[in-house]
């Protein structure tokens, strides 16, 4: 049985660092620039693989240099690439990321390119693999009908499903019935809940709302306020990691959390231990630059 199957996107992140992000109509000088592997799905797959899980990444790239970057990344991190489709018609996606050097926060524009072209039929080619995975993890950076199709396939087996609803976009109510773990960040949770979330009490209300919608477990990630967990029987908050090093780049912090959550669930970790593990992995990732490149290895976490 495969540990984890991740469906999602790969894009090449073009990251610009500056002391202050530009306002509308303003040009500022940067303090640094790098191109590296990104895309929420791919970042999550790398996070889980570096934590020792056997991972398949199901996605689509272009037949170009950025596509080669993806394949090299998967080879280096022991990911099985038989599930990576290569498009002859569409380029590999890219993201433009502006990072504030002072606190590591960012603004991102994603051009998904080939990753948005993966089809239901292509996903169906790997139905058996999805069904036989311990965990199926996905996000909203590909077409939503393809994501829903894959979640339905996962439900035919015993895979625990995780939907990281990022970026926040409208999804039909049907979606919620196929989700074991729903993992929005604060802003995404506000989008789906329709109200501000500034306190744990409000996070609890949002969690209860998601459970009523049909998800089995809700985990709202709250940045430096940690996380808020809700299911039918339990609700509690857990604090963020007390960081020893400076925050350099928060790109991919949520992906680190989701990849680690998937890895912990596949290893049948106890719930709170698994959540604390995911918080730690995410905390470590923000002390390094880049997205996939910032994912820690298991030895860095213990």
Q: Which of 43, 77, 92, 185 is the binder for ligand RIB (CB under 6 A)?
A: 43
Distance of CA 161 to the CA centre of its chain: 13
Residue 52 CB contacts under 8 Å (≥ 6 apart), including other chains: 263, 298
**Residue 117 is a binding residue for ligand RIB (CB under 6 A):** no
Q: Give min distance, CB of 28 to ligand RIB, in A.
A: 21
What crossing angle do the helices spanning 40-50 and 65-76 adopt, rounded to 10°? 20
Q: What are phi and psi of 83, to 5 degrees?
A: -95, 10
Q: Give min distance, CB of 292 to ligand RIB, in A.
A: 7
Angle at 116 between CA 85 and CA 3, to 5 degrees: 55
Contact positions with ligand RIB (CB under 6 A) in 219-278: 251-252, 254-255
**Residue 291 is a binding residue for ligand RIB (CB under 6 A):** yes
255 is catalytic: yes
Q: Of the residues 3, 180, 249, 255, which is catalytic?
A: 255
**Residue 38 is a binding residue for ligand RIB (CB under 6 A):** yes
Binding mask 62-101 toward ligand RIB (x if CB under 6 A, else -) reads: ---------------------------------x------
Supply 52's token pair: 């020792």
Pairing of strands 11-18, 32-38: antiparallel
How many whole angstroms separate alpha carbon 281 and alpha carbon 297? 9
Half-sphere exposure of 123 (CA within 13 A, CB side): 28
How many whole angstroms separate alpha carbon 176 and alpha carbon 51? 28
Q: Give min distance, CB of 23 to ligand RIB, in A.
A: 22
Q: What are phi and psi of 108, to 5 degrees?
A: -130, 135
Q: Which of 18, 21, 108, 116 is the binder for ligand RIB (CB under 6 A)?
A: 108
**Residue 3 is a binding residue for ligand RIB (CB under 6 A):** no
How many whole angstroms separate alpha carbon 275 and alpha carbon 255? 14
> Which residue, 40 or 225, has its beta carbon nearer to ligand RIB?
40
**Residue 39 is a binding residue for ligand RIB (CB under 6 A):** yes
Q: Give min distance, CB of 243 to ligand RIB, in A.
A: 19
Chain residues that interact with ligand RIB, rule: CB under 6 A: 11, 13, 38-40, 43, 95, 108, 110, 141, 251-252, 254-255, 291
Q: Which residues are catalytic?
A: 255
């Amino acid at each position: 049985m495969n540990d984890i199957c991740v469906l999602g996107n790969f894009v090449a992140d073009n990251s610009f660092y500056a002391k202050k992000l530009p306002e509308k109509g303003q040009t500022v000088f940067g303090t640094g620039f790098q191109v590296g592997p990104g895309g929420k799905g791919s970042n999550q797959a790398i996070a889980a693989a570096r934590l020792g899980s056997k991972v398949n990444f199901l996605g689509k790239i272009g037949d170009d240099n950025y596509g080669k970057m993806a394949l090299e990344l998967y080879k280096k991190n022991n990911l099985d690439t038989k599930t990576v489709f290569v498009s002859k018609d569409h380029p590999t996606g890219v993201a433009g990321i502006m990072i504030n050097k002072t606190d590591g926060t960012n603004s991102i524009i994603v051009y998904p390119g080939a990753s948005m072209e993966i089809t239901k039929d292509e996903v169906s080619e790997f139905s058996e693999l999805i069904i036989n995975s311990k965990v199926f993890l996905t996000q909203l950076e590909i077409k939503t009908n393809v994501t829903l199709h894959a979640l339905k396939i996962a439900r035919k087996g015993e895979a625990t499903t995780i939907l990281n609803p990022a970026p926040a976009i409208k999804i039909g109510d049907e979606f919620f019935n196929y989700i074991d773990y729903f993992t929005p960040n604060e802003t995404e949770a506000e989008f789906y809940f329709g109200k501000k979330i500034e306190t744990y009490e409000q996070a609890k209300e949002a969690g209860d709302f998601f459970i009523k919608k049909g998800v089995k477990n809700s985990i709202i990630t709250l940045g430096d306020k940690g996380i808020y967990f809700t299911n039918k029987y339990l609700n509690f908050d857990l604090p963020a990691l007390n960081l020893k090093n400076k925050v350099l780049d928060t790109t991919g912090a949520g992906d680190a959390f989701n990849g680690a959550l998937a890895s912990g669930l596949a290893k049948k970790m106890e719930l709170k231990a698994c959540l604390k593990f995911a918080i730690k992995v995410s905390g470590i990732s923000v002390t390094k630059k880049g997205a996939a490149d910032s994912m820690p290895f298991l030895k860095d976490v213990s």
